[in-house]
Chain A
């Protein structure tokens, strides 16, 4: 397989897996685990054959299987280059960034009723980053993904944030909750650093990634509580009791987005726990999907309309 074949191969495999899981769910006719109503996962990833993961197709299929079982209406996803094969996941080369985005856009085309794309960019290549955003948006991408290639408050991110704001594209930013040092293979940022960027770009919306994804989330809550253009996604393997309650207390349900990242079972657990936080049905719907519909460009999720 050549690199040029990778996007289509990934898309075809995902399409076949999706059809198989739809057939299985139709046969079983079981109630959805996530309850009724729309559900948007704003932090998902897919893999492809030009990555170190031999089981890439199975992992993609497992995401789609779990999504159908729960009732995920839309997966908003990104592909981070070659996931370390030819350049590091969090410092992806321009060529790898482009390949990853091509894969993601092909997946979106193949699964038009389930998948939406972020454009992943590496701010260390500013011209390439802006060109990728324009290219991705022209092909239907609905947001920008920044991982951990450059600290969030670095000036190199300003042009990207401005371009995203101009296009009404939310920026999903990888965050280490309370980063007390540098970790290997990433230049991660924390809530304080993202808040500085958000303060410089009040027209842009920043999705602070995975409050359950490692680190001290309560530090994050303090950091962004008064920064209205930062919203938080609930994904991550962490399922600490008190995490959701404190998130609601810090920023309110209008600034929270349901998401899974790489552990869908913890996403389902948090979804179920939302029902025990004392939120009314409207607030739960905000977290499940309505906030996402409000934040992403109009028409990103056909069939879903959120009230103001």
Chain B
């Protein structure tokens, strides 16, 4: 059983048809694939200038399913983000999402740092999706670009920041982030491996050997991507890495909440 998938969403995607991006389907898929819980965002909110109306949809939709945890999108450069963080806590969210690249916020932006501090204080992890789709298939309207490693590095270097969960990064992004941080800074950064290549290139195996399993957390990218992909990647690891221990989403939650109590 996989404890948590941290890279899930419901709702439509603006640039292509996605089949059945609904919470009931998601709950069934998680059960089918042996995934105990899921962190779930509301996909359309990523593209709204003001994502806050999602809360009426996300909390209601996810609240009906005990295996789904809401991860609201909180726009840190708009007023009122503190209220959104408080609401997230009230609704039992393990984390919040931010999309600085979609909001035109550069690495080191002060509002991102404030949101990170607010998350840390509230006991929430901060989720940072790198991309939704491969660069080569993007719509002509989809011009925002990817999150940069510099965004993550700047947040990781904040003192007392929350756990950072980076979604959809490839090997180069992960290495450009992890090896540019001190060990204490790196200790708070976790990557899903939904976009990390397996054999024959064996990028995942390389990263697990060089950085250790504790830097990695299970995430699939449903409903945009097949849930089966990260599990297939793990199943194909070389023998020496077969029993590697990853960090569970539940451990990240515990870490965030323990840090907040201190």
Contact = CB atoms under 8 A, between A and B. Distances in A.
B228 A273 contact: yes
A24 B239 contact: yes
Interface of A is mostly: helix
B137 A238 contact: yes
Given A240-B225, A241-B19, A242-B19, A214 B197 contact: no
Contacts of B198: 66, 263-266
Contact of A62 (B19, B200, B229, B233): B200
A241 B225 contact: yes
Interface in B200-239: 200-202, 204, 222-226, 228-229, 231-233, 235-236, 238-239
A177 interface: yes
A63 B236 contact: no
A218 interface: yes
Interface string B68-92: 0000000000000000000000000
Contacts, number: 98
A269 B229 contact: yes
A62 B202 contact: yes
B10 to A, nearest CB: 13
Nearest to B235: A33
B64 interface: no
Contact of B232 (A63, A65, A265): A265
A63 B200 contact: yes
A9 interface: no
B27 to A, nearest CB: 15
Interface residues of A, number: 37
A70 B236 contact: yes
B183 interface: no
B18 interface: yes
Contacts of B18: 241-242
User: What is the interface of chain B mostly: helix, strand, loop, or mixed?
Assistant: loop
Contacts of A295: none
A176 B137 CA distance: 10
B136 to A, nearest CB: 4
Contacts of A49: none
B199 interface: yes
A264 B199 contact: yes
A269 B137 contact: no
B16 interface: yes
B243 interface: no
Contact of A269 (B19, B232, B238): B232
A193 B136 CA distance: 18
B200 A269 contact: no
A283 interface: no
Interface string B5-20: 0000000000011110
A66 to B, nearest CB: 4
Interface string A1-42: 000000000000000000000001000100001000000000
B56 interface: no
A94 B165 CA distance: 48
Interface in A209-264: 214-218, 237-242, 245, 262-264
B137 A265 contact: no
Contacts of A242: 16-19
Interface string B175-192: 000000000000000000
A237 B17 contact: no
Contact of A264 (B200, B224, B239): B200
A263 B201 CA distance: 7
B232 A272 contact: yes
Contacts of A177: 137
A177 B133 CA distance: 14
B209 to A, nearest CB: 13
Contact of A69 (B224, B231, B236): B236
B226 to A, nearest CB: 4
9 contacts: A62-B200, A62-B238, A65-B199, A70-B236, A240-B224, A263-B198, A264-B198, A268-B232, A269-B226
Given A240-B16, A265-B236, A269-B232, 12 more contacts: A33-B235, A33-B236, A65-B238, A66-B200, A69-B236, A178-B137, A240-B225, A241-B222, A263-B201, A264-B236, A265-B197, A268-B236
Interface of A: 24, 28, 33, 58-60, 62-63, 65-66, 69-70, 176-178, 214-218, 237-242, 245, 262-266, 268-270, 272-273
Q: Which 10 pairs between the two chains have the least Cβ-Cβ distance?
A: A265-B198, A214-B136, A268-B232, A66-B199, A62-B200, A269-B229, A63-B200, A269-B228, A265-B233, A239-B226
